[in-house]
């Protein structure tokens, strides 16, 4: 009996190691290709690509010294395929296979009504370097959260494909990108301005794909303004974070993208009541090829 009791902790530890090693994404360092490749998306006719997209938003706001926490967790499965290609741009059809969201706010848990979205399709034009040119039909990706009225997923697809450098790069080469996203929704005008310092970190084997690994350090300024329940609300948040991208340079396929960022900001409320509130935010995201 004593021998068995001593073995149990060891077995438990081994099981945990096995479980966690199975859950982790395994990578293996690779030698760089003989000639530096130009990274381009390749979307062959008749081939479908499916991605699982997960994101987390965590906010803490302080009112009279009392922290109020809000969490938004979202998961989607998206499939797309190309229907035309011309002048280095693909016309693709995207379909949302599944989507779920959970909102936890002070005193309540909310499950948004997303029942109309699964099965919805829309079209997008995207260059082979990842620049989205336009969306057609994405304005129908609407859902409701409690009594807040309609919200939309459209802005999440306006920058779905990470932009790729248009020149061949050697390991250690860096480049800077800037991006502006209009994430306005439900009566609030929201603009996200991001500057990223990117580096080709090397080449790795991940999920059976020979990938270029790009790491990024970014800073973002998020500004939002609008009227909610008769009050003027202006929000400013300064964020910084990191992103890692794995791109199969032989097949022209994005395999994995992860990012995490955090920052602080203020909320100014004016109207019948005047107040300025401090807050902190953390955001995470993961986009992974499903095969």
- DSSP per position, 194-229: EEEEEEEEEEEEETTEEEEEEEEEEEEEEEEEEEET
* Per-residue pLDDT at 57 exceeds 80: yes
Lowest mean pLDDT among 32-46, 104-118, 230-244: 104-118
Name residue 66's beta-bridge partners.
63
Q: Which residues contact 25 (CB under 8 A, 6 or more apart)?
A: 206, 207, 256
110's enclosing H/E stretch is strand 108-110
pTM (2 d.p.)? 0.85
Q: Which domains does the chain have, with CATH numbers?
A: 27-290 (2.30.230)
Residue 152's φ and ψ, nearest 5 degrees, are -135, 150
How far is 68 from 282, CA to CA, in rounded Å? 14
Tokens 């580096």 belong to 199
β-pair partners for 254: 247
User: Residue 54's pLDDT band (boundaries 50, 70, 90)?
Assistant: very high
Mean pLDDT of 5-12: 43
Distance CA 144, CA 181 (A): 22
pLDDT at 19 over 60: no
pLDDT of residue 228: 76
Report which DSSP code applies to 165: -
**Is 41 strand, coil or helix?**
coil
**For 113, which DSSP code?**
B
Residue 112's nearest CA partner among 122, 121, 101, 99 is: 101
- The half-sphere exposure of 224 on its side-chain side, counting CA atoms within 13 A, is 19
Q: How far apart are CA 40 and CA 52, in angstroms?
A: 21
Match 């991940």 to its residue by tokens. Answer: 206
């Amino acid at each position: 009996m004593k021998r068995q009791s001593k073995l149990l902790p060891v077995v438990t530890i081994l099981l945990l190691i096995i479980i966690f090693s199975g859950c982790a994404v395994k990578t293996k360092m690779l030698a760089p290709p003989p000639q530096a490749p130009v990274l381009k998306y390749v979307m062959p006719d008749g081939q479908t690509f499916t991605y699982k997209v997960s994101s987390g938003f965590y906010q803490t706001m302080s009112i009279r010294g009392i922290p109020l926490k809000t969490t938004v967790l979202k998961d989607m499965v998206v499939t797309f395929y190309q229907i035309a290609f011309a002048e280095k741009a693909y016309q693709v059809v995207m379909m949302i296979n599944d989507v779920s969201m959970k909102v936890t706010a002070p005193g309540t848990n909310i499950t948004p009504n997303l029942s109309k979205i699964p099965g919805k399709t829309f079209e997008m034009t995207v260059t082979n370097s990842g620049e989205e040119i336009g969306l057609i039909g994405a304005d129908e990706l609407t859902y409701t959260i409690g009594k807040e009225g309609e919200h939309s997923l459209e802005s999440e697809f306006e920058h779905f494909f990470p932009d790729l450098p248009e020149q061949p790069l050697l390991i250690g080469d860096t480049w800077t990108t800037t991006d502006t996203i209009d994430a306005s929704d439900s009566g609030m005008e929201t603009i996200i301005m991001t500057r990223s310092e990117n580096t080709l970190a090397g080449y790795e084997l991940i999920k059976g794909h020979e990938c270029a690994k790009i790491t990024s350090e970014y800073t973002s300024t998020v500004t939002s303004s609008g009227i909610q329940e008769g009050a003027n609300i202006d929000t400013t948040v300064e964020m910084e974070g990191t992103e890692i991208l794995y791109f199969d340079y032989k097949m022209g396929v994005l395999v994995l993208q992860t990012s995490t960022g955090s920052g602080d900001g203020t909320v100014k409320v004016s109207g019948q009541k005047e107040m300025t509130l401090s807050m902190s935010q953390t955001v995470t995201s993961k986009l992974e090829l499903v095969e």
